[in-house]
Amino acid sequence: MFAGDISIAKGVQHIIFVQKKLKTLGINSELHLFGRVKHDFLKNNLDGLGIYFHGQVRKDVLKKYYSKSDLFIFPTYTEGSALVIYEAMAAGIPIITTEESGSIVRDKINGYICKPDDERKMFILAKKLVQNKSLRIKMGINSRKIYLKEMNVSYPEQVMKIYLNILN
């Protein structure tokens, strides 16, 4: 699963590469992408690959997909602090992301952190998670635990606190 702008800046081309490789190996997987399509060419030549573009959806629909997903992948090149990472962690999903996501993901604890353009590593890690249910469950549980520990103050309150500290 991915949520965010469907763009090269968010690394969607890399997620598509990962899904193509999984399908090439005969691994039964689907990729669900949510968000505004900024680069239409990313949707080209994807028939039969199990890739679904849902566009922008209501929060309750997104929440339903978070609860059904086995993996959240967000290989962004640029981000401040991606809310979607926090949402996925709240749902108890393992994460593959980048340092640039500004997230609270702990490498090898509740997911993996890669360089934004390292498709090969993303594929290896996604394959590892797809094929290892106990690892997925363990990392998902860790995502939820980390989220609950780190988010004892709401996300908007944390952002406001940071701004107030800067302004003072």
Q: For 17-40, how does the pLDDT look when each residue is reduced to its tens digit (9 = 90+)?
A: 999 999 999 999 999 999 999 999
Question: Do 36 and 56 contact (CB within 8 A), yes or no?
Answer: yes
0.75 cut: is pTM over it?
yes
Instruction: Report residues of the chain scoring pLDDT below 70.
Output: 80, 153-156, 158-159, 162
pLDDT at 101: 84
Distance of CA 41 to the CA centre of its chain: 21
The edge-to-edge listing of strands for the beta sheet with 95-98 is: 72-74, 95-98, 111-114
Give the integer Cα–Cα distance in Å for 80 and 105. Answer: 14
pLDDT at 154: 63
Give the integer Cα–Cα distance in Å for 4 and 56. Answer: 9
